[in-house]
Chains A and B, each alone.
Chain A
Amino acid sequence: MHNHAPEMPAGFTLRAFESVGSTNDVARELSSDPSYGNIVVWADSQCEGRGRSGRVWTSPAGNLYNTVLIRDVGALAQAASLSLVAAVAMGEAVARFLPDSGGLGYKWPNDLLFDRAKFCGILLESGQALGNNWVMIGSGVNLVRHPEDTPYPATNLKALGADVGAAVLLQAYVERLDHWIGRWRQSGIAAVRDAWLSRAVGLGEKIQARLADGQVLEGMFRDLDAHGVLILDVPGKGTRVISAGDVFFP
């Protein structure tokens, strides 16, 4: 088990496990317990870690797997922008430990890349408990190893020169998350939009977006709209706004 328990900000309760199915599933079970405020679930390994569209997130020991459940997030239409908040919080936490954070970037909406190789994935879910909406932010960070068989380049923080343990990174991340969620509660996505865009990968360049129905759109990544949705200029087809999809760099 963990020798050094990370310190949590006020209002967050940490639950640590050696192995779980998925940290999101544990957080969901705990969500209806009124004795918890915001909940942080941390596991050394997961046997059912997953990403978007049910894709497997390989979760061997040594990397960081966690879910942060945030209560009372208000209307779900606005809560979607927590996706960008999470990326910025994790990005700032990781940047503290990288020898040079210049290669750090965000792939819409919230993958973390270094020189376009992915080292962190984030998946959020929303639900209702105790009369309010919650959002949980599940993230996996490749600290010491990464899968070799991904359809995109992957890397890990140790390979990038950041020798940081899971407990230390988790503490830094939740601290930044608490900070940015506080600002988000005051001013919404505007609070985090500039920080996200400052490290946006592919902004102003040609990208591909694969939609849920399999359609692939290729165009210029122009901007984020006021909700954080990706705006793509598709030659001959005009402007498309993409609220859900996988982004690729051709």
Chain B
Amino acid sequence: MAKISFDAEQVGKIADLMEDKGLTEVEIEHGDYSIRLSRGGVAQAVALPAAPAPVAAAAPAAAPTAPAAEAPAADNANHPGAVKSPMVGTAYLAAAPGKPNFVSVGDQVAEGQTLMIVEAMKVMNQIPATKAGTVKAILVADSEPVEFGQPLVIVE
């Protein structure tokens, strides 16, 4: 790279590169500028005045892909039927390895029915359906890390 400027677009490209290559941390220095992006939880964004705000926004942007999503990821968070993760953790679609999944796309579910488990520090949190309906999409894969507030399932 001959010249680096840390605008939102550049940071976005770096975040995409990190996602593609499975990198958790990238540090780039150029002249008076240096930038460090990390993903996977502790977002340590260190940037000189050039562009602090986009850096902070870029780390969470490396979001997991949605295997069974019907709508773009940006829309799922605002979807009225979105069931969101109440904590940072790891998602499990079944009670234990080898057991059948709690629900599949197309299933009818009752309010309170367990949709998946999110584990945080050996606390197994059963994630209940917040209303009765049909499972329209399951937005995370088994054993995938999830963030606080991340949409997990769409129930309509």
Contacts and interface: CB of A to CB of B under 8 A. Distances in A.
Q: Do A and B come from one complex?
A: yes
Of B25, B119, B123, B128, most buried by chain A (CB within 10 Å of CB) is: B123
A215 to B, nearest CB: 9
B137 to A, nearest CB: 21
A184 to B, nearest CB: 13
B122 A124 contact: yes
Interface stretch (A78-86, A89-97, A151-159, A163-171): A78-86
Contacts, number: 105
Interface residues of B, number: 33
A77 B148 contact: yes
A214 B90 CA distance: 12
A102 to B, nearest CB: 25
A240 B124 contact: no
A244 B86 CA distance: 15
Interface string A201-214: 00000000001111
Interface stretch (B1-9, B50-58, B73-81, B92-100): B92-100
Interface string A95-111: 00000000000000110
Contacts of B112: 128
B90 A125 contact: no
A81 B121 CA distance: 7
Given A53-B96, A77-B87, A243 B42 contact: no
Nearest to B92: A212
A172 to B, nearest CB: 22
B106 interface: no
Given A75-B86, A80-B87, A243 B25 contact: no
B24 A244 contact: no
A125 B90 CA distance: 14
Contacts of B92: 212
Contact of B95 (A54, A227, A243): A54
A77 B127 CA distance: 13
B128 A241 contact: no
B122 A239 contact: no
Contacts of A229: 41, 88, 121
A67 to B, nearest CB: 13
A243 B88 contact: yes
A239 B40 CA distance: 9
Nearest to A54: B96
A131 B80 CA distance: 22
A86 to B, nearest CB: 9
Interface string B115-144: 000011111111010000000000000011
Interface of A: 50, 52-54, 75-77, 79-84, 109-110, 122-128, 135, 211-214, 225, 227-229, 231, 234, 237-241, 243-245
Given A77-B87, A82-B123, A243-B145, 14 more contacts: A54-B97, A77-B120, A77-B148, A80-B121, A80-B125, A83-B123, A84-B121, A126-B125, A126-B126, A127-B126, A213-B144, A240-B40, A240-B41, A241-B41
